[in-house]
Structures are given as C-alpha cells and as structure tokens.
Amino acid sequence: MLLVTELLVKPYVEHQQVIGEICYRLIFNENVIASASPEMTLDIPISKEVREMAARLRASVASFPPVVRWLPFIIRPDDVLEASRCLIGISNGMLTEQKDFEFIEVRALRRPRIC
C-alpha cells in the first residue's frame, strides 16, 4: 500500500496542486496578460512567472515513474506538453510588440485546457 501511495497518489496530488496554482495565477493575472505590451514593466515579471508555471507543469510529470506516465487514466503527457506550450505562448505573446489578434483569440480559447 505504501508503494502505491508513493508511486501514484503522492505524485498525482502534487501534479494537481501545480495545476491549481497555474489556474489561480492565470485568473489572478488575466487583466495584465490580456493587455500586455512590451513597454509595461509590470508585464516582464508576469511573463517570467507564466514561463515558470510552464516549467513547473512539465516538471510535475517527471515526478511520476516512467511506467505510470504512459497510463492514460492517470496522466496524459501529451496534454501536459500542450498546456505547457500554451503557457510559453502566453509568455512570449506578452512581450511581443505587434499583437496578433488571431493569436490572442486562440490563446483565450486555449486557457480552459490548462485549467
């Protein structure tokens, strides 16, 4: 039983905590993310924070044993990778001088996949 707890339950709970923190941060900073521009000094730390969230999300998958990572009913690495890519895209988009409004619309549609 202890083995199951250490191999499955503990990494799963930690992964869910990371996802919860990402959702909280995205919602809390949504006004800054949506109106980001390279001239605003507030955007740079938030952009770095979003990029850090992407890294933490990917790292949370690494806490699962290799065999468990590929069990689709536990965790889907492809979904985590896609969510991480979206977060990096949000981070990059915040510091882009010319706004691609199609990208912003796609970014807004992708957020529910992360949360």
Looking at this protein, which amino acid is placed at residue 73?
F
Q: What is the pLDDT of residue 52?
A: 95
pLDDT surpasses 90 at 86: no
CA dist., res. 25 & res. 91, Å (int): 13
Confidence label for 53 from pLDDT (cuts 50, 70 and 90): very high
Q: What is the pLDDT of residue 20?
A: 92
Sign, CA dihedral 101-26-59-82, equals negative
Strand, helix or coil for residue 70: coil
Q: What is the pLDDT of residue 5?
A: 78
Burial of 84 (0-12, 13-18, 19+ CB in 10 A): buried
* Residue-averaged pLDDT of the chain: 77
